[in-house]
Amino acid sequence: MDQDKTLQEFDRDGIRFVYPEGWDIEVEDEEDEMGWTVSVASSDTAFLILTYQVGEDPTRLVETTLESIQEDFEDVGAQPVQETLNSQPAFGYDVEFFNLDLTNIAWLRGVEGPEGGILVMAQVTDQDRPIYEEVLKGIMQSLNWEED
């Protein structure tokens, strides 16, 4: 993450991450009150969405999101990935697709949270990727919560 920027912290239900000051943030509660979604967005094309759903399988969240992208866009490339978020195994995909004559890159990750599934989706166009890729990955790596 860019060390020259001041960071803000998001914290809800013990799930925390940091993001650059000046990015827009929006939080939306699920209708069934079993989860919520937070999005942070730059003034350009970079954004990150985190969804937390109590009792949900994170793999299902990732697969459903990938299926939605594949339905909405043609020629979607998806490479399976495994990494670690908050010292927990995270499964997901690195995804590329075209929209409005630009290549979009999305990183989908699912991880088991305190009481349910966490889905993280970070996305940027190829035009802004050199500026925001490390920032988005830094936000993802800052994700943490207390284990039960």
pLDDT 10s per residue in the chain (148 long)?
Answer: 554 579 999 999 999 999 999 999 999 998 777 899 999 999 999 999 999 999 999 999 999 999 999 999 988 999 999 999 999 999 999 999 998 788 999 999 999 998 899 999 999 999 999 999 999 999 999 999 987 5
Q: What is the pTM of this model?
A: 0.92
The C-alpha angle with vertex 109 and arms to 105 and 112, in degrees rounded to 5, equals 170
75: left (phi over 0), alpha (psi -120 to 50) or beta: left
Tokens of 37: 């979604």
Q: What is residue 31's predicted lDDT score, i.e. its pLDDT?
A: 76
Partners of 66 in the β-ladder: none
Tokens of 106: 């999305």
| Distance of alpha carbon 77 from alpha carbon 70, whole angstroms | 9
Which domains occur in the chain, in start order? 7-142 (3.40.1000.10)
